[in-house]
Structure 1
Amino acid sequence: MSFRLKTVLGIAIIEGFLLMLLVWSSSQTLENSTFRELEKRGITAVDMIAAAAKDAILSNDLGRINSIVKAIVDTEGIVYARIRTNLNPGLTPSEESAGDPKYLTGDRVEDQDVEHVDDGVYDVKKELTELDEVVGSIELGISTAELEMIREQSLQRLAMIAVIEMLLVALFSLVLGNYLTGELARLETAARTVADGDLGHQVEVTGTDEIARTIRSFNDMSRRVQGSYQELQQSELLYRSSQQRLDGLVASLLEGVCLLDDQQRIRFINPAARDHLLKLGNSSVEIGATVQFPDLKREQVIVDSGLAAFELTTTVNDIPHIFELTSRLVPNQQDNEKEYVVVMRDVTDLRKSQKALQEHQQMTTVGQLAAGIAHDFNNILTVILGYSELTLKSEGLPEVVREYTIRVLLQGERAAELIRQILDFSRKVESESERIDLVEFIPETVQLLHSGVPSSIEVKQHFDEGVAHVEFNATKLQQVLANLLLNAADALPDGGTISIRTDLLKIEEGDPQWGKLAVGDWVRLRVEDDGIGIPSGLIDRIFDPFFTTKPVGKGTGLGLSQVYGLVKNHDGLVNVESVQGVGTTFTILFPPCEAVAHVPPQEMQRVRRSASSAGPKTILLVEDQPEVLNALEFILHSLGFQVVSAIDGEKAVEVIQKRGDEIDAVLSDIVMPILRGDQLVGELLELGFDKPIFLMSGYFPNEINLEDFSGSIAGFLQKPIRTEELKKLLSVLLEEDPAEN
């Protein structure tokens, strides 16, 4: 049923009920008022008749009584009239003049009110008295037909008015219903339009009534909804953009990130986490899958407070991987459930880098220690070697003393070589490289080392054709081969075979063993033995400095460390594989290079200045170590020089200021507590000293920046100082002055 029909029927029913109530109430009111009027009329008529008929009754005037009765009956609405008298009980009006005969038979009972009339005649009676004595009575019957007719006419008029009113109300209701339903229909259509997506739809306002105000409110609501929706769309776009950036960021992380519930079921996972979990042995890593971590219980990973951190090691394709895991509780207020974010990192390369850094720091520390020790040892060896050489030059030296002195000299030389090896190992000494043909170089080196290899050991050499040359310092490469060959020989106490092989190794992208090296061809040198092998627990330490498995006195622990340092310093790589009881293989990879002629670098520029005059030359010797100073004084005297000594740089400056003209050259140590040798050079140049200046040091040249003095000094001498080297360095002073030729 439509709203319009409901409105019309509702109003019609209510109006009909109200009209019926009105008609009934009106009819009751009309009836009551008519009845009262009739009763009043009856009383008034009786009173008038009584006044007119009393005298006739008292005078017993029958004619007059009959005429009164007749006149009364002729009155409209009077049905009968009767006058009785007690003075003459036989006196009665005639039937003709008393009205309708059927109402004159017998005595009629007076009606108390009109409402109780049941025969259509209202009976009224009044007694006449005289001197408190009833002398007669008057009876009157008044017809109620007229009253009924009036009442019916009134009811008809009321009914007609009600019908007209109901029709008008129905018509108004119809019009109102059409208006309301039309406006509501417009609102309904607008609401559907808004629901279909046109959030800003507006409805035309055609009036100022409540419906119009409702439409205006609807229009205002639609505008606000449209504005809110646009803001929501903008917020949603921003959220989606942020979510996409966040998803992209999380997806691009090298760290694996996953969200787990308290049963270790996956709720979120990024690609890196999928890869890590698969490597950790999980077969399913989809949303909802339960994951496991090797060697970890659920209670260790799922913690309710703080941060849980672990390291797990697994093997993938025979390659060990180390994973670092962290787990933390993430409160989920929406679902009131516990969730845990687990971050996984493959720290395999990091651990390797940390180990390499630790090794580098260890090497740096050892190198610094070695450099300091080498400086002091070189000073000591300068004294030992200097006095030994002076002793050997002495005349009449007993043979046994000469033999002992030669042994001391040889041991000093060996000590100096050991110091060089220590510095080589610590990578403190840079040496010039040259291009070396391994096919020629290896057999020559093996031949040189032949005496150090027992005859019970067979050395085999295998060279592939087309093996490229390598760029290496020849002396250092010889040390590398000597260390590897003699180590292999030590692993064969009962004899065996040592194989030296060279070939080209092509490294592909993602090579599991050599992946860190550049892709391309590398020269591979392998030294293999079938000896006792290296225990697996020691193989990671064999390149550590001072680590050795040989008995005391048989090894220094620097051989393989030196190999490692030299190869790495030449951009190569060393690897070792060993099985106890089977043998050991050392592999060295060299960057290949073309075979071209090697051009040695230029020597340090030497400044030649003219000597002061013919005859013995005077050297200003500057050295802060007294024993070294004394030894060098003796050596210089043995070479024919006069010596003026200074214990530090300041003293040397004073000598030049006082006796500068007498000094033909300066030989100064570099590292001194007061005014270093390099600073002394600057001071002497400022003083205008233009004679040769020579520097010496127990440190190696690469540790002292000599480039700044290359044009200011005549030469550099490395300690320990040999007599012949000193003589060669000072040869510029032994030559004759060109001006004298």
Structure 2
Amino acid sequence: MGFNYYPYRDEDGHVRGLLCIAYDLTEQQKIKEALVHSEDKYRGMMEAMTDPVCICSSDYRIEYMNPAMMEIAEQDATGLHCHKALHFLDEKCPWCIHEKVVRGCHAVVEIKSPRNGRFYHVSSSPVFKRDGIVSSLTIFRDITEMKQLESSLQQTSKMEAIGTLAGGIAHDFNNILVPIMGYTEMLIDIVSDDSAQQEFLHEIYKAGKRAKELVAQILTFSRKGDESMEPLTVHSIVKESLKLLAFSLPATIRIDHSISSECDPVVANPTQIHQIVMNLATNAYHAMEENGGTLTVTLEQITISDGNNFPDLVNGEYLLLKVSDTGKGISGDLLDKVFQPYFTTKSQGKGTGLGLSVVHGIVELCRGKIKIESREGSGTDVYVYLPTADFKHEASKKYPVQKVRKLIQGGTERVLIVDDNKAVLQMEIRLLESLGYQVTACDTPLKALEVFKEEPEGFDLILTDFTMPDMTGDRLALELTAIRPDLPVIICTGNTFSDGDEIETAGANGILVKPFNKADLASMIHRILDKERPRRESLIPKQ
């Protein structure tokens, strides 16, 4: 209950008594308690929220902050301007939605905070007060991890698209290289050794080989390349790569190297190791191109154990390849981007942005790790850790780095060749005829099937392209071997081993990767026909 007391006066103004008015406060007390409970409840909700929350007045001053917001601001900034307290800005934020909200509208925006570099989804709603003044209630939700995941998914999608594109480019480009390198090789055999044209032809052939290596690099990047791996020693490959690089470096750049020959083998292939060294060394060269400097390459074997500070590496033996330069260095904000495809710090025309992406892909494939340290203005160090194989140097004897090329041998057998690319087809005809083979050529698989059906025993071997209209090479092989199961088939592909599963299913006797040279073609044909020769001889009637 509540009581109000009033004096009772007579006509002369003297107090004669007391007037008491009693009133029931039950409902008022209930309302007051409800208000307190409501405030406690909603304040408790605000305090418990992990998302930062603040309420700002129409003049941008903070009226309330929950603990999560205070943690971001590193203080209780009540009474301060929101842009100053939260983002260190003297003027209102470029993305500010406060004015829209105080006019009575709900607003949403995504921002990157200049204070901590994190991404936030900002949702702001009007808060209407009894006096008509409107404040804004703003909730910040940290979406940095979600943004990183989106970026990762986009990167994966981009890599898949580039991989598909790379396969197509490789096929077309390798088809172009086949006649260039093939005819050049035939001319080298024809032109006399003391002719001035020999030098020109060798330069053309070397340029073709460099183009072939470029395609291999693109395919390695897209993971469509030849990833067959075996134990090998790498010190000789590193030395050979540096020797090749030395011819292209200006005199202003000195190469220092310390390559240990006592390292255990690693599981990789020679092309991969060569690409790692050449790409890293080329990047170092470009960093020092303007002012010169020193390129330092070291190779040693190290042991990673629990006592070492290498959280990403499993304990064990590793080869450490370190490539250092004294060039311009890379700024800290760019270091995280250097492994992204097509990202480059070089000037236009100086680089494709694929080099470090290729290296990163190879190192991951070898179950290793790569680390970069850079000092802007004074140079960069790149560390490549490759796990050693489980066995010692005997492995390198079993799997030599370089294989001895056999002498080119031809024959007189009958070969049916199939390719829809007329330039490639003509080159293959002349190449096989120069080796002594009897050649029948078809520019479509359907024509080849028709020719073969007319005389199934008239051919000793089929040489067919893989990618052709109407019928692929593996399908043609299946059709032909269905007619004659013992028929030897070689399938040529410009996509390296991306077509391997289909070719293996077709039962091909060999896979020839474009662009191939005369020795590759002759060696494979001779090897396959040697296996078939006893069978053919047994079919010849005895006199």
Q: Same fold (TM over 0.5)?
A: yes
CA distance, structure 2, for counterparts of residue 400 and residue 384 of structure 1: 19
* Letter paired with 1:306: H
CA distance, structure 2, for counterparts of residue 277 and residue 670 of structure 1: 66
1:622 matched to which residue of 2? 418
* Letter paired with 1:530: T
2:402 matched to which residue of 1? none
CA distance, structure 1, for counterparts of residue 518 and residue 502 of structure 2: 23
Distance 1:480 1:489, change over 3 A: same
Matched, 1:632 2:424: no
1:415 matched to which residue of 2? 211
CA distance, structure 2, for counterparts of residue 592 and residue 456 of structure 1: 35
Matched, 1:727 2:522: yes
* Letter paired with 2:122: T
Contact 2:232 2:266 in 1 (8 A): yes
1:17 matched to which residue of 2? none
Matched, 1:679 2:482: no
SS in 2 for 1:531: coil
1:380 to 171, 176, 184: 176
Matched, 1:482 2:283: no
The correspondence of residues 239-318 of structure 1 with structure 2, limited to 5 A, is 256=51, 258=53, 260=55, 262=57, 264-266=62-64, 269=66, 274=68, 277-278=70-71, 280-284=72-76, 292-294=85-87, 295=89, 297=92, 300-301=97-98, 303=101, 304-313=104-113
SS in 2 for 1:737: helix
The correspondence of residues 146-157 of structure 1 with structure 2, limited to 5 A, is none
Cα deviation, residue 726, structure 1: 1.0
SS in 1 for 2:323: strand
2:439 to 635, 643, 647: 643
Distance 1:591 1:643, change over 3 A: closer
Distance 1:652 1:487, change over 3 A: same
SS in 2 for 1:696: strand
Cα deviation, residue 364, structure 1: 3.6
CA distance, structure 2, for counterparts of residue 522 and residue 340 of structure 1: 60
CA distance, structure 2, for counterparts of residue 701 and residue 707 of structure 1: 9
Contact 2:372 2:380 in 1 (8 A): yes
* Letter paired with 2:86: F
Distance 1:677 1:584, change over 3 A: same
* Letter paired with 1:293: L
CA distance, structure 1, for counterparts of residue 417 and residue 92 of structure 2: 75
Contact 1:386 1:722 in 2 (8 A): yes
Distance 1:439 1:676, change over 3 A: closer
2:380 matched to which residue of 1? 584
SS in 1 for 2:113: strand
Cα deviation, residue 683, structure 1: 1.8
1:496 to 272, 286, 293: 293
Cα deviation, residue 322, structure 1: 0.9
CA distance, structure 2, for counterparts of residue 463 and residue 678 of structure 1: 45
Structure 2 gaps, min length 5: 1-40, 400-410, 539-543
Contact 1:261 1:338 in 2 (8 A): no
Contact 1:261 1:340 in 2 (8 A): yes
Matched, 1:664 2:460: yes
Instruction: Give the greater-gyration-radius structure (CA).
Output: 1
SS in 2 for 1:730: helix
Matched, 1:433 2:229: yes
* Letter paired with 1:344: F
Paired residue total: 463
CA distance, structure 1, for counterparts of residue 191 and residue 317 of structure 2: 58
Deviations 1:493-529 (A, max 9, x none): 55433444666677999x9xx98x4787896654332
Matched, 1:697 2:493: yes
CA distance, structure 2, for counterparts of residue 436 and residue 453 of structure 1: 28
CA distance, structure 2, for counterparts of residue 334 and residue 705 of structure 1: 75
* Letter paired with 2:519: E
1:136 matched to which residue of 2? none
SS in 2 for 1:644: strand
SS in 2 for 1:393: helix
* Letter paired with 1:725: D
Contact 2:481 2:487 in 1 (8 A): no
SS in 2 for 1:528: strand
* Letter paired with 1:715: G
Contact 1:617 1:664 in 2 (8 A): yes
Contact 1:301 1:327 in 2 (8 A): no
Q: Please identify, of 401-410 and 674-683, the stretch whose mean Cα deviation from structure 2 is larger.
A: 401-410
Cα deviation, residue 587, structure 1: 3.8
Cα deviation, residue 324, structure 1: 0.5
TM-score, structure 1 as length reference: 0.53
- Matched-pair identity in %: 29
Deviations 1:322-346 (A, max 9, x none): 1313123276899999786544343
SS in 2 for 1:431: coil
CA distance, structure 2, for counterparts of residue 500 and residue 392 of structure 1: 37
1:713 matched to which residue of 2? 508
2:9 matched to which residue of 1? none
CA distance, structure 2, for counterparts of residue 506 and residue 277 of structure 1: 43
Cα deviation, residue 261, structure 1: 6.5
Contact 1:467 1:504 in 2 (8 A): no
CA distance, structure 2, for counterparts of residue 400 and residue 477 of structure 1: 35
CA distance, structure 2, for counterparts of residue 433 and residue 300 of structure 1: 58
Deviations 1:463-487 (A, max 9, x none): 99x9997654343123212222233
Matched, 1:596 2:388: no
Cα deviation, residue 616, structure 1: 3.3
Deviations 1:388-424 (A, max 9, x none): 2222333779823444333322222222122212222
* Letter paired with 2:518: T
CA distance, structure 2, for counterparts of residue 456 and residue 335 of structure 1: 77
SS in 1 for 2:475: helix
CA distance, structure 2, for counterparts of residue 637 and residue 467 of structure 1: 47
2:5 matched to which residue of 1? none
Cα deviation, residue 453, structure 1: 5.1
SS in 2 for 1:388: helix
Deviations 1:337-379 (A, max 9, x none): 9786544343444444444444444444433333222211211
Contact 1:259 1:341 in 2 (8 A): yes
Contact 2:326 2:378 in 1 (8 A): yes
Structure 1 gaps, min length 5: 1-242, 602-614
Structure (1 or 2) with the greater helix fraction? 1
2:123 to 315, 327, 334: 327
Distance 1:434 1:389, change over 3 A: closer
Distance 1:308 1:551, change over 3 A: closer
Contact 2:62 2:77 in 1 (8 A): no
CA distance, structure 2, for counterparts of residue 497 and residue 628 of structure 1: 45
CA distance, structure 1, for counterparts of residue 475 and residue 163 of structure 2: 26
Distance 1:667 1:439, change over 3 A: closer
CA distance, structure 1, for counterparts of residue 258 and residue 63 of structure 2: 58
Contact 1:327 1:340 in 2 (8 A): no
* Letter paired with 1:581: G
CA distance, structure 1, for counterparts of residue 313 and residue 504 of structure 2: 36
